[in-house]
Amino acid sequence: MPAATHPAAHLSATLLLCLPLALPGLALAAEPAIEEIIVTAQKRAQSIEDVPIAISAFTAETLQIAGVEDIRDLTILSPSLILTSTQSETAGTTARIRGVGTTGDNLGLESSVAVFVDGVYRNRNNVALTDLGQVERIEVLRGPQGTLFGKNAVAGLLSITTQGPDTEELRAYTDLSAGDYDYWRMSAGITGPVAGDKLALRLDGSITQRDGFIDEVSTGTEYNDRDGYLLRGQLSSQLTDNLDLRVIADISNRDESCCAAVAYKTGPTSALIGLLGGTVINPARPYDRKMYANTDRGYDQETDEWGVSAELNWDMGDSMTLTSITAYRDWDADRSQDIDFTDADILYRDPGTYGNQFETLTQELRLAGTSGPLDWLVGLYYMDEQLDVNDAVRTGPAYEAFANGLLQAGGAPANSLSLFTGLAPGTVFTDGDGAVSDAFRQDTDGWAIFTHNIWNLDETSRITLGLRYTSEDKDVNAAIASDNVACPLILANNNPLLAPIKPSALSLGCLPLISPLVDGSYSGSREDDEVTGTLGYAHDFSFGWLGYASYGRGFKAGGFNLDRGGLTAGAPATSQLEFDPETVDAWEIGTKGMLLDAVQLNIALFWSEFDDFQLNSFNGLNFVVDNIGGVTSKGVEIEAQARPLEQLTLAGGVVYADTRYDDDVLYDGTAGNPDLRDKRLTNAPLWSTTGSATWEQAVGNDLMGFLHLDFRFNSDMNTGSNLDPNKEQRSYMVWNGRIGFGPDDKRWQLELWGRNLFDREYLQVAIDGPLQGSGSGATSTRTYLGFLGDPRTWGATFRYNF
């Protein structure tokens, strides 16, 4: 970061780099060793303490004792990482690092935080939201990682490495868990050599089921449940002395009812819904976790996914290795949704008309080696992705009466829609009217060439230089059709007596979700090319500390807003769906090492400037993507791990991340357009802290016991994309715990566990109730809906290794 622009940050960074110079002579007596973790953050196997970037890594043992089963659980371990799920976990899951992420339920917008599993890119955060199975290691890399990992890692990435086949002995395991909410989970696996040391296999599987956390009052239906399975098979072969192959195939399914939202704050429209035979709990009691919904519509989501990958490593001699990773993945989701989140049956989406599918082929080639002081790497990457998005919003039998009631509350006469259309009351909108089909297909072809090089100036100093050129073509084709006959009739009605209420009538009769004014076929294409890279300097101090400074540039591709709400009624055009790329320039200064031979400490100062930031905002009806201007994320991260006693392991981190929209973000002062200038981003707390403590103790008869506690703290943050003050979540802390025992050889282990031990109530995301009020802040008349954090849960797990 330029010293003249940010002098305080520059001074702090300079002091941080010099901090290790003050530590010689302070070492204490040797303490119990902290486990070294080998990571591949730079596409090379390195100790995490030798990697000059901000990175956290968690081993299989750490993940198991913390109860991490999917990427949502990682937030308890990594303070910089926040994950939230909203209207659907099949499309609305968002990962954020240092306060930056991609908001909302819109697959046309790619993720700011990339996810890789065994070196294979998962298209969106929600695509990666599956049972992780048996994991060897998870790495959380902060800051832009586009040089080595590609276009959609502007905020950072998650790299997940699963456990591979055992080439030495036959082993098997099974884990059984049960808990409240009728939770149960079973996983099992077997691995071992099948042809001496030339061929080894591994098979892992899991199945999970849990009742939901949200109760539908009138029927007892439970929403937000868990029901899914994962099966993964692997083969590893030492084809020759210098050629090895690893093939992975997996299949998974999730068939769940998710995601329902409860009334968080209620407005006057709740009375109108009551007149239509529906119920909004008023006053709102969100943490009773109860709601009224139309169970004929529901919140079903079924996701089927499968994929296969092959990784080939060829030791070519002369310190050169060629790596090839080829992968094909297929992800398919089908959903339904009671859009109004009430039992009045106003708006809905039927299963079979609302879904998404990814088909993706990727190929990566890397050649790496050493030549004297130069550790070099060059690579090629190719991706062919086909994305299908289908949608069809329908009006329920209560929509016409609800719309008329809204108009009448604004001073219009009764049955206003009939006055405009000439249609008899009750026939203006009937059950099933609206969008017949919104079908979007987006084809993406992308390729990249990259290089990442480490030049060792001497035994203690090195420079890192990386460059990547990315080229991407996207083609979109859409067919949008509606059977809404009311809208054109209202538009054509020029009765001067109705003129004062015509704008309101049009807003409801030509609702963007169902407007025939944008019906038609659309096609378009765009091409994005970008050069990104990294430049860094690192120095190993004589007493074991690493200091580094780096600059990185990241890139997130432009694309198309795959939602009819992005089209302008009356003059729709494909160009209205387009949005431009987002770029980031990031500076980081940090240090890593052992403090007093007792504490492993990592500190990083960061400053990231995003241009043409892609904001996906929800206006109560549609998701709209805009390049709104600049965002700046700046702050400091501190992570520490200590083992002061043989029995005790401590770990934790604290992050100060001031992530704000710049003063130049789009704002025209019109009603409904939020003023985001100089405000912190959605779900971007100023402070986040995590911590854990694990005590292991012999308990007699060759048994070992353990006690584990961990927590996460988030300071105040706004959970809404428009930053309405009514969507604020005050600071909160969540505690988890686990206690268990088993023999020294870990043949078996019994554990008791609890999550959110103190039943802390907190909000993940708040949204505007569709068509339920207007305004924001103190003058708002809206009903707000809340997607809540999980309540307290408890259970037991039994593990057995054969």
| Residues 473-522 pLDDT 10s | 999 999 999 999 999 999 999 999 999 999 999 999 999 999 999 999 99
For the beta carbon of residue 2, count every other beta carbon within 10 angstroms: 10
Q: Are residues 295 and 219 in contact, defined by beta-carbon separation less than 8 angstroms?
A: yes
d(Cα 743, Cα 749) in Å, to the nearest integer?
Answer: 7
- 127 closest CA partner among 310, 258, 252: 252
Q: Are residues 82 and 75 in contact, defined by beta-carbon separation less than 8 angstroms?
A: yes
pLDDT at 471: 96
Mean per-residue pLDDT of the chain = 91
The SS3 assignment for 416 reads: helix
pLDDT at 433: 95
Kindly tell me the sign of the dihedral angle through the C-alpha atoms of 735, 739, 744, 746: negative
State the pairing for strand pair 171-179/183-193: antiparallel
8-state DSSP, 31: -
The more confident residue out of 22 and 53 is 53
Q: Are residues 259 and 787 in contact, defined by beta-carbon separation less than 8 angstroms?
A: yes
pLDDT tens for 536-589 read 999 999 888 999 999 999 999 999 999 998 898 889 999 999 999 999 999 999
308, 529, 594, 696, 777 from 648: Cα distances, Å: 41, 51, 17, 7, 48
d(Cα 425, Cα 400) in Å, to the nearest integer?
Answer: 8
pLDDT tens for 740-781 read 999 988 899 999 999 999 999 999 999 999 999 998 999 999
pTM: predicted TM-score of the whole model, two decimal places: 0.90
pLDDT tens for 275-318 read 998 999 999 999 999 999 988 898 999 999 999 999 999 999 88
Q: Which residues contact 751 (CB under 8 A, 6 or more apart)?
A: 738, 739, 740, 796, 797, 798, 799
pLDDT at 337: 92
For the beta carbon of residue 664, count every other beta carbon within 10 angstroms: 10
**What is the average per-residue pLDDT within 683-709?**
94
d(Cα 600, Cα 346) in Å, to the nearest integer?
Answer: 57
Question: Which pLDDT band, with edges at 50, 70 and 90, does 124 fall under?
Answer: confident
pLDDT at 669: 62
Q: Which residues contact 196 (CB under 8 A, 6 or more apart)?
A: none
pLDDT at 69: 85
pLDDT above 60 for 28:
no
pLDDT at 667: 78
616, 646, 691, 694, 757 from 705: Cα distances, Å: 48, 13, 21, 10, 20
Whether the bond into 496 is cis, omega within 30 of 0:
no
pLDDT at 668: 65
pLDDT above 60 for 604:
yes
Q: Are residues 210 and 181 in contact, defined by beta-carbon separation less than 8 angstroms?
A: yes
Partners of 83 in beta bridges: 95
Q: Are residues 327 and 362 in contact, defined by beta-carbon separation less than 8 angstroms?
A: yes
pLDDT at 618: 72
pLDDT above 60 for 653:
yes
Query: Quick one: 709 exposed, middle or buried, by C-beta within 10 A (0-12, 13-18, 19+)?
Result: middle
- 420 closest CA partner among 481, 508, 330, 538: 508
d(Cα 98, Cα 686) in Å, to the nearest integer?
Answer: 9
**What is the average per-residue pLDDT within 118-125?**
90
Backbone angles phi, psi at 225, to 5 degrees: -90, -175
pLDDT at 13: 35
pLDDT at 659: 97
The more confident residue out of 156 and 28 is 156
pLDDT tens for 78-110 read 999 998 877 667 666 788 999 998 876 778 888
The edge-to-edge listing of strands for the beta sheet with 222-223 is 222-223, 214-216, 290-291
**Quick one: what percent of the chain has pLDDT higher than 70?**
94
pLDDT at 8: 34
pLDDT at 238: 92
pLDDT at 637: 97
In 392-459, where do the E strands start and end?
393-395, 433-456
- CA contacts within 13 A on the Cβ side of 416: 28
Question: Which pLDDT band, with edges at 50, 70 and 90, does 691 fall under?
Answer: very high
Amino acid residing at 495: N
The SS3 assignment for 170 reads: coil
